[in-house]
Chains A and B, each alone.
Chain A
Amino acid sequence: AQSVTQPDIHITVSEGASLELRCNYSYGATPYLFWYVQSPGQGLQLLLKYFSGDTLVQGIKGFEAEFKRSQSSFNLRKPSVHWSDAAEYFCAVARTMEYGNKLVFGAGTILRVKS
């Protein structure tokens, strides 16, 4: 079964600093990869996704992520963090895109932004 590891439970960065959130997956083939953001008490918003092709994908809110097959990683980055980025970030994988196929989420990383 596929699994997702987000090694950092909490990360604190200063406003304006760069950010990298780590995500590693375990699966025999290349899964479908996603990053979601969740503000407290809110739903999940898709930041970006990777299915194939260019390994550097751009998302909303200035986020990008890079797929590295050799490291089974899909790390999320942002060059300059804004206070409004404070939230919890989930990496997720799907084994296939067959009907009904589920997303498997990592444990999440809580981002705190200090001014």
Chain B
Amino acid sequence: AAGVIQSPRHLIKEKRETATLKCYPIPRHDTVYWYQQGPGQDPQFLISFYEKMQSDKGSIPDRFSAQQFSDYHSELNMSSLELGDSALYFCASRPPLGSAEFNEQFFGPGTRLTVL
């Protein structure tokens, strides 16, 4: 079965650089979530999108922005990177209303970002 795809899987950047993380949800899923998991930490919600509109916002820094495109994939753009941004970034998708699995978020493998 198709799963959530995240690219790249690993990314190394220098401080003050920018990074773009991509998430491709499971086909026909219309909601996308982004989470950040720091070393030894639990995942923290950043932002979510439903039908290309932002639906909820968590502790996402102003240096980060995200969007969902017409094909439902999402991109997380991170600027002026700091050492503290080093983390595993997860994307999750959710099927549409009426699906048997509507209440479940399906997680991708994550993108490990290292800021040097």
- Which listed segment binds B: A15-23, A42-50, A62-70, A71-79? A42-50
Report how far A51 CA is from B104 CA in the complex, Å: 11
B109 touches A103 (CB 8 A): no
In the assembled complex, B50 has its CB within 8 A of some CB on chain A: yes
In the complex, which residue of chain A has the Cβ closest to the Cβ of B103?
A: A97
In the assembled complex, B48 has its CB within 8 A of some CB on chain A: yes
Interface residues of A in 69-115 (CB under 8 A from B): 90, 94, 97, 99-108
Q: B41 to chain A: which residues have CB within 8 Å?
A: 107
Consensus secondary structure, chain A interface: loop
- Interchain Cβ contacts within 8 Å, total number: 60
Report how far A115 CA is from B21 CA in the complex, Å: 40
Q: B86 to chain A: which residues have CB within 8 Å?
A: none
What total of chain B residues lie within 8 Å of the partner, measured CB to CB? 28
- Cβ distance B109 to chain A, nearest Cβ, rounded Å: 4
In the assembled complex, B27 has its CB within 8 A of some CB on chain A: no
In the complex, which residue of chain A has the Cβ closest to the Cβ of B6?
A: A43
In the assembled complex, B79 has its CB within 8 A of some CB on chain A: no
A100 touches B42 (CB 8 A): no
In the assembled complex, B24 has its CB within 8 A of some CB on chain A: no
Residues of B within 8 A of A (CB): 31, 33, 35, 41-45, 48-51, 54-56, 58, 90, 92, 102-110, 112
